[in-house]
């Protein structure tokens, strides 16, 4: 099989991995080498689905000894199997990199023969890149669960970032859908990598330049919507992973039915993109907005709101915290105002040192007043002409897409009501209820 065919098959097989960032490391090649990376990461293109393409994301092979039910590469699937040779893949990476198509390589693999053998082939590829071609670009390597820790160690010294996908949010789901994997086999290497990173930062104090072990940290991914966990369970797990394993990033991937199986959702379901989006939003609240998972969702509210994003939803349930005075309130509280993001909060703090801000100034600083106006006062005053009614507030807090989704659901509900042969419009009633239950600012 030629490289073109292999690339099509092994690129296609790797695409369900959500992580494609090239962030977290900052370095450059010296003379004689090639490559650099910047901490913020660089997107080189965007695919037709709107996802960033930063790395050449491929599998070393799509052959696999495991039979995970949700996976397109599972043993029992009758797809065409192939593999790159380490040299082939290293050369392809270099040629793509020279042309600035990519920021580096994202190397994952099916498990062929056994975990150790797979890991060794990955190491061989990365050694050609790093040692022979002096490649200093970004490398993200997937740790192969079950591989020897000495091999993980080798891999970690060659890669910028490593990841082990946790796949399912609970051990029960994992056992149901990935009987060859266990929570243990996933968390063990994760713990090993965490320990080595910590050791490495200790070495930096001891020695001038120890070899860096995964300088951009580790990440993981969870599939959302293949099993029954609530949003709250997933979010709590996420917060726990950040805390316990010091992960740089947890990715969520809406379950795309690629496989028919009695234990999985039917093949014709829509991927739960909305849920994935809400989790993504909540993840940002955890990482950059100082929110605790328990604040975002709790026992009474175990799932995200379909029409209002997690931050607005939180604000609506805590109207007693508002309004805040923009010219005095601390940065941390500014971040909690709907319509103010990290950038605009920083700008506000910077600008208010030299003058007191009014609503016009806030608009110039990038604050989304449509939302923020309900939660702010400037120099002790509310925005003039502000309509403080429930529909006005809700409309303001919903994005255009959320409004149209709401209207669509409404229309669908009404059609159902007209049809005598359909079951009662339960969905819409529940949604109406959701909106009615939203607390009001007054």
Partner 1 sequence: MSADADVIYRYDGSFAGLLCCVFASYEQKEIPAAIYSPQDMQLSLLFTREIYTEEDKSQRVLRSIPKKIHQDALDFIRRIFLTCLPQKEWYILLFLRRAYKEGPSILQNVADPLVNKLYKAVRHLENEAHLLKGFIRFSDCENVLATKIGPKNQVLPLLADHFCDRYPEEQFLIYDEVHRQALLYQPYQIKLVEMDVMDFPVFDESEEKYRELWQAFYDAVEIKARHNPKCRMSLMPKRYWKYMTEFDRMPASQNPLAGNRSDAAVGEIISIEAVSPAVK
Under rule CB under 8 A, which residues in 295-354 are in contact with partner 1? 347, 350-354
Can you name the residues that pair with 57 across neighbouring β-strands? 106
Q: Are 104 and 138 in contact (CB under 8 A)?
A: yes
- Minimum distance from CB of 206 to partner 1 (Å)? 29
Q: Looking at beta carbons only, is 96 or 313 nearer to partner 1? A: 96
With CB under 8 A, what is the number of residues at the site for partner 1? 59
DSSP string, 11-73: HHHHTT-------S--EE--TT-B-EE-TT----EE-TTS-EE-EEEEESB---S---TT-TT
Residue from 21, 23, 54, 109 in contact with partner 1 (CB under 8 A):
54
If one asks whether residue 368 binds partner 1 (CB under 8 A), the answer comes out as: no
- Minimum distance from CB of 20 to partner 1 (Å)? 9
CA 139 from chain center: how many Å? 18
Choose one: 30-38, 168-176, 181-189, 221-229; the region binding partner 1 (CB under 8 A): 30-38
Residue from 43, 263, 342, 437 in contact with partner 1 (CB under 8 A):
43
H/E run at residue 141: strand 138-142
Contact characters 197-226, partner 1, x per CB under 8 A: ------------------------------
Residue from 59, 89, 92, 147 in contact with partner 1 (CB under 8 A):
92
C-alpha 179/C-alpha 369 separation (Å) is: 50
C-alpha 413/C-alpha 425 separation (Å) is: 6
If one asks whether residue 45 binds partner 1 (CB under 8 A), the answer comes out as: yes
Choose one: 98-106, 163-171, 229-237, 384-392; the region binding partner 1 (CB under 8 A): 98-106
- Minimum distance from CB of 14 to partner 1 (Å)? 8
Q: Which two tokens stand for residue 190?
A: 């994760």
If one asks whether residue 35 binds partner 1 (CB under 8 A), the answer comes out as: yes
Can you name the residues that pair with 141 across neighbouring β-strands? 107, 162
Distances (CA, A) of 179 to 67, 168, 183, 188, 291: 8, 12, 11, 17, 35
If one asks whether residue 131 binds partner 1 (CB under 8 A), the answer comes out as: no
Under rule CB under 8 A, which residues in 234-273 are in contact with partner 1? 254, 256, 271, 273
C-alpha 214/C-alpha 429 separation (Å) is: 50
Main-chain dihedrals φ then ψ at residue 176, nearest 5 degrees: -70, -45
C-alpha 331/C-alpha 335 separation (Å) is: 6
- Minimum distance from CB of 104 to partner 1 (Å)? 11
Choose one: 6-14, 66-74, 148-156, 241-249; the region binding partner 1 (CB under 8 A): 6-14
Q: Which two tokens stand for residue 68?
A: 């995970």
If one asks whether residue 404 binds partner 1 (CB under 8 A), the answer comes out as: no
C-alpha 349/C-alpha 355 separation (Å) is: 11
Q: Looking at beta carbons only, is 96 or 307 nearer to partner 1? A: 96
C-alpha 252/C-alpha 283 separation (Å) is: 9
Choose one: 117-125, 150-158, 355-363, 390-398; the region binding partner 1 (CB under 8 A): 355-363
Residues of this chain that bind partner 1 (CB under 8 A)? 3-4, 7-8, 11-12, 15-16, 28-36, 38, 40, 42-54, 56-57, 92, 95-96, 98-101, 103, 137, 254, 256, 271, 273, 347, 350-355, 357, 361-362, 364-365
């Amino acid at each position: 099989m030629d490289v073109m065919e292999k690339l099509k098959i092994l690129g296609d097989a790797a695409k369900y991995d959500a992580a494609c960032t090239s962030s977290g490391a900052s370095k450059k090649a010296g003379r004689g080498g090639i490559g650099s990376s910047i901490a913020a990461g660089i997107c080189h293109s965007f695919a037709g689905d709107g996802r960033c393409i930063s790395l050449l994301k491929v599998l070393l092979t799509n052959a696999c000894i495991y039979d995970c039910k949700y996976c397109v590469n599972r043993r029992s699937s009758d797809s065409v199997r192939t593999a790159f040779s380490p040299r082939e893949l290293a050369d392809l990476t270099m040629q793509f990199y020279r042309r600035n198509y990519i920021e580096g390589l994202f190397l994952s693999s099916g498990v062929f023969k056994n975990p150790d053998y797979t890991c060794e082939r990955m190491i061989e590829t990365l050694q050609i890149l790093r040692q022979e071609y002096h490649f200093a670009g970004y490398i993200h390597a997937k740790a192969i669960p079950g591989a020897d820790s000495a091999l993980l160690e080798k891999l970690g010294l060659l890669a910028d970032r490593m990841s082990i996908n946790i796949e399912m949010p609970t051990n029960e789901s994992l056992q149901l859908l990935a009987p060859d994997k266990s929570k243990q086999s996933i968390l063990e290497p994760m713990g090993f990598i965490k320990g080595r990173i910590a050791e490495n930062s200790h070495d930096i104090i001891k020695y001038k330049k120890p070899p860096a072990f995964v300088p951009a940290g580790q990440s993981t991914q969870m599939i959302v919507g293949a099993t029954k966990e609530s949003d709250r369970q997933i979010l709590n797990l996420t917060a726990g992973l950040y805390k316990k394993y010091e992960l740089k990033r947890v990715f969520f991937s809406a379950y795309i039915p690629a496989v028919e199986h009695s234990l999985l959702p039917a093949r014709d379901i829509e991927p739960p993109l909305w849920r994935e989006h809400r989790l993504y939003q909540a993840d940002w609240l955890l990482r950059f907005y100082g929110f605790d998972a328990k604040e975002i969702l709790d026992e009474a509210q175990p799932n995200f709101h379909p029409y209002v994003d997690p931050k607005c939803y939180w604000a609506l349930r805590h109207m007693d915290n508002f309004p805040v005075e923009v010219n005095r309130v601390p940065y941390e509280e500014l971040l909690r105002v709907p319509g103010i993001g990290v950038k605009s909060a920083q700008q506000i703090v910077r600008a208010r040192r030299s003058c007191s801000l009014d609503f016009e100034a806030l608009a110039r600083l990038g604050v989304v007043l449509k939302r923020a106006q309900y939660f702010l006062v400037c120099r002790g005053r509310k925005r003039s002409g502000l309509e403080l009614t429930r529909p006005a507030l809700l409309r303001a807090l919903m994005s255009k897409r959320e409004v149209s989704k709401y209207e669509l659901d409404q229309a669908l509900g009404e059609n159902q009501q007209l049809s005598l042969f359909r079951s009662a419009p339960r969905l819409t009633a529940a949604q109406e209820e959701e909106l009615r239950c939203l607390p009001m600012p007054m």
